[in-house]
């Protein structure tokens, strides 16, 4: 497998799949969080420093195959220019005449940004299907897009001598720019960028860690989203801390009273089977022991405190309580490998954010004590950032969905396309 470190980009044009799917201000279209752009800088800088040029391609939002001003990647140009210190050429159609001309005249040291790939349905390979057409017509439309997707991919590939995938956030998608394009480059001319390498390194470090105890902390709303992750982790971990809304499905399955707390009624048996598998794998499962309850799902709700399994009728648990924080924190601080995905409560509302903040703090403390900690998933990352702890954990993943699928043990199309 080719590596970016070994590759000399001198006089080469590299087409780089980056993840510039950044949040924009609704009225000024300014980039409000440039984390993802900064994530691509090591790769961009290596290409330019070697004396090569880079053609950057990405999606932004979900334009559904239709060109729309609010999803234009031109909005990221000022931030990209500032961060790279280089002027940016822009092709206003990713496979149009401008893209062909600008890429063909691109000189060493120059950067070209292509317009949003998802202005074409070919990027994702899925047609927009009207509801009132026959199954046969749907099938024909899908086949037509698959065919035109090949041409779309070939056009993108024709702009460059080599392909770099550095978009971890979309590595779990088999799209034109994330996976299919790799087939059009020889093994020596395709590679991962530094961001994907760092993500893979962090995840592999956690999955294959010999640094014990290994504690996984799972939270968020739904058990169903995390089942596969939990099942793949059970043979590897020592402790499984379960917080957030998903904890209540486990509490109810064990006969606890949960009031109106979040619960997936159809997952009660599954919760019991996870607990059983944990026993078989010698994994200690730690559920909250107390909770902060609310009389309605609102920031200004009346609040009360109860033991877990004793939520009063009509109330719902929206955060873990102080005793749970102490219990979870002790385990976290004694861990040497930590994986965190999902908040401990409705952390978006200040009244119910204390549990999540305390867990972020405990992970930072464990990291200071020598543990390796990986935090992933939009909400846990937001919680770490909100508490200004991003620099105090070992690695913050840029791809929630991709990270979960990798940890589930799935082969990600964007990874498989390069790592053979
Ligand atoms: P997920 O996407 O599954 O990681 O879920 C994240 C969401 O779970 C966040 O928006 C939280 O507000 C929500 N959440 C966490 N704890 C609870 C809870 N106890 N009740 C309801 N929602 C919760």
Given the residues 205, 222, 257, 307, select the one marked as catalytic.
222
pLDDT for res 333:
97
For the question of residue 317 being annotated catalytic, the response is no
| Protein residue whose Cα sits closest to atom 17 of ligand 1 | 245
Angstrom distance (rounded) from CA 390 to CA 387? 8
Could you tell me the residue ranges of all domains in the chain?
13-192, 202-408
Sheet holding 372-375, edge to edge: 284-286, 239-242, 214-218, 337-341, 372-375, 395-396
Angstrom distance (rounded) from CA 35 to CA 54? 20
pLDDT for res 143:
94
d(CA 31, ligand 1 centre) in Å: 26
| pLDDT tens digits in sequence order for the chain, 420 residues long | 999 999 999 999 999 999 999 999 999 999 998 989 999 999 999 999 999 999 999 999 999 999 999 999 999 999 999 999 999 999 999 999 999 999 999 999 999 999 999 999 999 999 998 888 999 999 999 999 999 999 999 999 999 999 999 999 999 999 999 999 999 999 999 999 999 999 999 999 999 988 999 999 999 998 888 988 999 999 999 999 999 999 999 999 999 999 999 999 999 999 999 999 999 999 999 999 999 999 999 999 999 999 999 999 999 999 999 999 999 999 999 999 999 999 999 999 999 999 999 999 999 999 999 999 999 987 898 899 999 999 999 999 988 889 999 999 999 999 999 987
Phi-psi region of 112 (alpha: psi -120 to 50; beta: other; left: phi over 0): beta
Look up the CATH number of domain 202-408.
3.40.50.1260
d(CA 224, ligand 1 centre) in Å: 13
> Which two tokens mark 152?
């779309």
Pocket of ligand 1 contains residue 288 by CB under 6 Å: no
> Which two tokens mark 255?
């006969």
Helix, strand, coil percent content, the chain, rounded in steps of 5: 40, 15, 40
pLDDT for res 404:
92
| Protein residue whose Cα sits closest to atom 5 of ligand 1 | 220
Angstrom distance (rounded) from CA 82 to CA 87? 9
For the question of residue 222 being annotated catalytic, the response is yes
Q: Could you give phi then psi for residue 247, rounded to 5 degrees?
A: -60, -30
Angle (CA) 273-276-281 rounded to 5° is: 125
Question: For the whole prediction, is pTM greater than 0.75?
Answer: yes
Look up the CATH number of domain 13-192.
3.40.50.1260
Pocket test for ligand 1, best of 222, 244, 287 (most atoms within 8 A of CB): 244
- Name the nearest CA neighbour of 67 among 28, 112, 125, 117: 117
Pocket of ligand 1 contains residue 345 by CB under 6 Å: yes
Q: CA dist 113 to 108, 124, 161, 311, Å?
A: 15, 19, 16, 54
Given the residues 333, 378, 386, 416, select the one marked as catalytic.
378
> Which two tokens mark 320?
């873990």
Alpha helices in 189-314 (DSSP H): 194-207, 227-233, 247-253, 268-280
Please return the burial class of 77, using the count of CB atoms within 10 Å of its CB with bins 0-12, 13-18 and 19+: middle
Verify cis geometry, omega within 30 degrees of 0, for the bond prior to 213. yes
Pocket of ligand 1 contains residue 243 by CB under 6 Å: no
* Ligand 1 closest atom vs CA 226: 3
- Name the nearest CA neighbour of 213 among 321, 287, 286: 286
Angstrom distance (rounded) from CA 24 to CA 373? 30
| Protein residue whose Cα sits closest to atom 6 of ligand 1 | 220
For the question of residue 256 being annotated catalytic, the response is no
pLDDT for res 220:
94
Same fold, 13-192 and 202-408: yes
pLDDT for res 16:
98
What is the bridge-based pairing of β-strands 13-17 and 53-57?
parallel
Angstrom distance (rounded) from CA 263 to CA 311? 13
Angstrom distance (rounded) from CA 106 to CA 279? 60
Angstrom distance (rounded) from CA 14 to CA 155? 14
Collapsing DSSP to helix, strand or coil, 210 comes out as coil
Pocket of ligand 1 contains residue 222 by CB under 6 Å: yes
Pocket of ligand 1 contains residue 318 by CB under 6 Å: yes
For the question of residue 378 being annotated catalytic, the response is yes
């Amino acid at each position: 497998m080719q590596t970016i470190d070994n590759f000399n980009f001198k006089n080469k044009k590299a087409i780089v799949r980056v993840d510039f799917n950044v949040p924009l201000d609704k009225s000024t279209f300014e980039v409000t969080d440039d984390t993802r752009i900064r994530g691509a800088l090591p790769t961009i800088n290596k290409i330019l420093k070697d004396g090569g040029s880079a053609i950057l391609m990405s999606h932004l939002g979900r334009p559904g195959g239709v060109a729309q001003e609010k999803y234009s990647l031109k909005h990221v140009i000022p931030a990209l220019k500032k961060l790279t210190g280089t002027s940016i050429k822009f092709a206003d159609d990713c496979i149009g005449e401008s893209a062909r001309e600008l890429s063909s005249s691109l000189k060493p040291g120059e950067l070209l940004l292509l317009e949003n790939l998802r202005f074409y349905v070919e990027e994702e390979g899925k047609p927009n299907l009207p509801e009132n057409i026959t199954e046969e017509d749907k099938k024909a439309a899908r086949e037509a897009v698959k065919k035109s997707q090949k041409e779309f991919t070939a056009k993108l590939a024709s702009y460059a001598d080599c392909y770099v995938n550095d978009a971890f956030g979309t590595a779990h998608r088999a799209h034109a720019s994330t996976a299919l394009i790799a087939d059009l480059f020889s093994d020596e001319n395709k590679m991962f960028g530094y961001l994907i390498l760092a993500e893979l390194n962090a995840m592999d470090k956690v999955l294959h860690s010999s640094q014990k105890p290994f504690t996984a902390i799972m939270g968020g709303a739904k058990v169903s989203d995390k089942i596969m992750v939990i099942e793949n982790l059970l043979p590897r971990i020592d402790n499984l801390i379960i917080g957030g809304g998903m904890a209540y499905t486990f509490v109810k399955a064990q006969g606890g009273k949960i009031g109106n707390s979040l619960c997936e009624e159809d997952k009660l048996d599954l919760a019991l089977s996870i607990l059983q598998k944990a026993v078989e794998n010698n994994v200690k499962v730690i559920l909250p022991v107390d909770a902060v309850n609310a009389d309605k799902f609102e920031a200004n709700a009346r609040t009360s405190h109860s033991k877990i399994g004793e939520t009063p009728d009509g109330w719902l648990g929206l955060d873990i309580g102080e005793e749970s924080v102490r219990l979870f924190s002790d385990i976290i601080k004694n861990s040497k490998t930590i994986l965190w995905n999902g908040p401990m409560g409705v952390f978006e509302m200040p009244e119910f954010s204390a549990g999540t903040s305390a867990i972020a703090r405990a992970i930072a403390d464990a990291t200071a004590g020598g543990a390796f900690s990986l935090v992933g998933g939009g909400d846990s990352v937001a919680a770490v950032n909100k508490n200004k702890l991003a620099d105090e954990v070992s690695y913050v993943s840029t791809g929630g969905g991709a990270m979960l699928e990798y940890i589930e043990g799935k082969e990600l199309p964007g990874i498989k396309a390069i790592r053979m």
